[in-house]
Amino acid sequence: MTRNNRNRKLILVFFILAFAIISMAGIFTAAEAQSGSGYYFDIRSIYTRPFGVTNPVGLAFPSASSNFVVIDAPKAGQANVALALVPFREEPITAARPFAIADPINLAYSERTKKFWLYERATSSLTSRAAQADGALAAQAADRFDGRSLGLSNPQGMTFDPKSGQAFILDAAARRIVRIAADGQGNPNPASAARVVRIDLGALGAAQLRGIAFNPQNGHLYVMDVNGPKLYELTVTGALVATRNLADLRIRSSQGMTFAPSVDQTDAAATMNLYLADAGSGAVGGRIVELSLDAPRVATARVAAAAAATLVQTINTWQWSPPAPDPAGIVYDPATGRLLMTDSEVDEIPQLFTGKNVFELNLNGNLVDTYSTMDFSNEPTGVAINSDGHWFFSKDGSNQITDLDPGPDENFGTNDDTWRRYSISGFGVQDAEDLAIGAGKMYIADGKNQEVWVISKGNNGIFDGPPSVGGDDTATHFDTSTLGVRDPEGIAYDAATGNLWICSRRSPVVEVTTNGVLVRSIDIAFLNPIDPDGITVAPGSNNAAEMHLYIADRMVDNNQDPNENDGRIYELDVDSNPPPDPTPTNTPPPGQGQRIKDITFEDGSLTHPTSGADTTSGTVQLDSTSLIKGVYSAVIPNAASSYLNENFTGVSDVYVSFYFKLNAVPGSNVRIAFVSTAGTIRGNLLLRTNGSLRLRDSGTTIGADSAPLTAGTIYRIGLRQKVGTGSNGVLEAYLAVGDNAFGAPFAATTAGTWTSQADRFRFGATTANNLNAVFDDILIDSGAMPPPSP
């Protein structure tokens, strides 16, 4: 896509029609179609081999300990099996311990009794084990109940209702669930026939059932048909609610299941997900898979353009020498005109690893050079290049960022390289998959939290982490699940628009503002990707004048196939031929110059008067078109002294922000905004003939001018007037590119010198001049500088 077309796309009129609104429920239609009925998304996989359990079968989660109890498959001739405590956050790794158990599939934890329970087929008994301080179960039984009356033929899982204490045991051979009501102590004692109910599952047909879990959020039961595999959701009476076909998860041997809290730290504390043990097979070890069964509430009120993409080329990174089987991060280096790509897993494939895990390639996909990060990171997931030439790498497992200075020779991998490493966990980041740098900010894709973190430098002017590690960076974040992206893996900054691109598994590629507002969504299902992990914007291989997307897809994970070698990169041309632009670009149509969105008051303490508001010099017309960000705009003719005036009363501290796009610099200086009282002009912004902005008090210059604005680029401008005595009266002007947050003001009065209490703002060509520019989305607030509009 060309830069001009991309800039024009930002100001396209998006007609509010049903087919033009991205329905995020529709984004998940593919996943729901795969499952037959019922939503699911695999949040993460915890591979258990590092914890000493090769083939996990038993799975339980005593909430008080924050550890999963994971029990290995019994081995012939061995009395003991490996029992591991797997931390909920996966760290630290602890050693497994031997434990005597014959049927780990029939392990469950009761929140009511605070005990583990086992059904032992050899003795047809229900036994309890006390929970130890670290969450493990005691070796000796605390309670033992005769279970022969239950008539179980082939028990293949047990679960509990945490409130009532009812136990549910899956009898696979009899195709039924046996429910046991709790006694007065909360124990599942089957001594009384009245406590036992048998729930027929014959309607499920020839399903090979294994594993059962009770969902405390909806009171439903979940059982697995290992053929498929298919996950059946049932009421407690056995009625089928939904079927989820999990074939795309490549589960090799489904075993025990349980519900436990969501790993997403930004979710509500009560959010529970399904965790299932996959025992694996052969050389492929097992894992715990976390599944979300609830579709996120995705904003449908945001208007976005659906974009089409054309595949330009597929670069097979597995064919390189040395190969890159699992491409992760990717970034364009404008200094060389080449791409840099990391491979975070190649070191785990001995037959392919040569010590190199960073690859430099030209835009045609030819390998140019290779590098190694093994001195400081064996898993470089994301990569970004800062404006100072430093290379930044992320490492998801430890949430570390490495800042590598290539030294005076500007070459990575030479003796003058230096590097420093710091953690970003102190911000709340849990899974730093990828990173991007642009406009002085760092952007982190946090997969498990389903967030993008926006990192701002502190006073020292460098990225160095949160105060918890001695840095002075600050961070904000926004959610990606509302954009249709459940596991953000790749992120890129687009310098042409000031926006971000995000990619993920089983999700569209989305373009968003740096505040998380959806711009457009691209369906890449036609590529049949498996695990898109990285994304960047770079010149097209077939046309350097166009900017294309390059997406790295690691394909099959090496944990699922230790011999895989299938990585690739897709080059996509997105909307290279958009429809004609009906809004003004460089030359506005006759009678259409400045456009201003109707005013939005963000704070209830401001009084919007019923008279004297939205008065104009020139003709203002409200229409149903969108210009830059908003939905409704007002058109001010491109004529001398045309402006919109907004009056307000009731407060002395007022903030305003608006979007502004300069189509052409003015022939003479023109005042584009001011804050004042009736009959006076005090604080005002002057657009100068070189494109810079100047803050003035009446005709007196305040501070330094801003950097010259670039024609065609969208900016956000802010004015703040704070009236007071002593040291708190101030007038300030702010400038940011696109949706970036405001930093320090580019000009401000000396503290305590501003005393004018304004009661109006005016926008447009407030002095006689033909202004060729675009205004949009004016926000006024009395509490704080307004954020970018939704």
Residue 299, pLDDT > 90, answer no
**What pLDDT does 788 receive?**
45
Give the chain's domains with CATH numbers.
3-22+302-574 (2.120.10), 29-292 (2.120.10.30), 594-781 (2.60.120.200)
d(CA 159, CA 169): 7
Q: What is the pLDDT of residue 183?
A: 93
pLDDT in tens, 487-540: 999 999 999 999 999 999 988 999 999 999 888 889 999 999 999 999 999 999
What's the average model confidence in pLDDT over 225-244?
Answer: 94
Q: How many CB atoms lie within 10 A of CB 265?
A: 17
Residue 636 has pLDDT above 50, yes or no: no
| Higher-confidence position of 784 and 738 | 738
pLDDT in tens, 186-210: 999 998 778 899 999 999 999 999 9
Please state the separation of Cα 75 from the chain's center in Å: 41
Place of tokens 């969108």: 626
In this predicted model, what pLDDT tens digit does every residue of 5-57 receive, in sequence order? 333 332 222 222 223 333 333 333 333 333 346 889 999 999 999 999 999 99
Q: Decide if pLDDT at 461 tops 80.
A: yes
- For residue 606, the 8-state DSSP code is S
Tokens representing 664?
């052409």
Q: Provide the percentage of residues in the chain whose pLDDT is more than 70.
A: 77
Alpha-carbon distance of 484 to 447, in angstroms, equals 13
Instruction: Report pLDDT digits (tens) over 66-89.
Output: 899 999 999 888 889 999 999 998
Two tokens, residue 264: 């997403």
Mean pLDDT score, 233-248: 93
Name the band, by pLDDT with cuts 50, 70 and 90, for residue 691: confident
Q: Which residue has tokens 């406590």?
A: 195
Task: Check residue 310 and report its DSSP letter.
Answer: E
pLDDT at 632 over 80: no
Whole-prediction pTM:
0.65
Tell the burial category of 66 from Cβ atoms under 10 Å away from its Cβ (0-12, 13-18, 19+). Answer: middle
What is the predicted pLDDT for the residue at 308? 80
Burial of 458 from C-beta contacts in 10 A (0-12 / 13-18 / 19+): middle
Query: What is the average pLDDT value for the chain, to the nearest integer?
Result: 81
Of 120-134, 436-450, 738-752, least confident by mean pLDDT is: 738-752
What confidence score (pLDDT) does residue 743 get?
A: 76
Determine the pLDDT at residue 757. Answer: 60
> In DSSP terms, which residues pair with 490 in a beta bridge?
503
Q: Which residues contact 163 (CB under 8 A, 6 or more apart)?
A: 111, 112, 216
Give pLDDT, residue 630.
Answer: 36
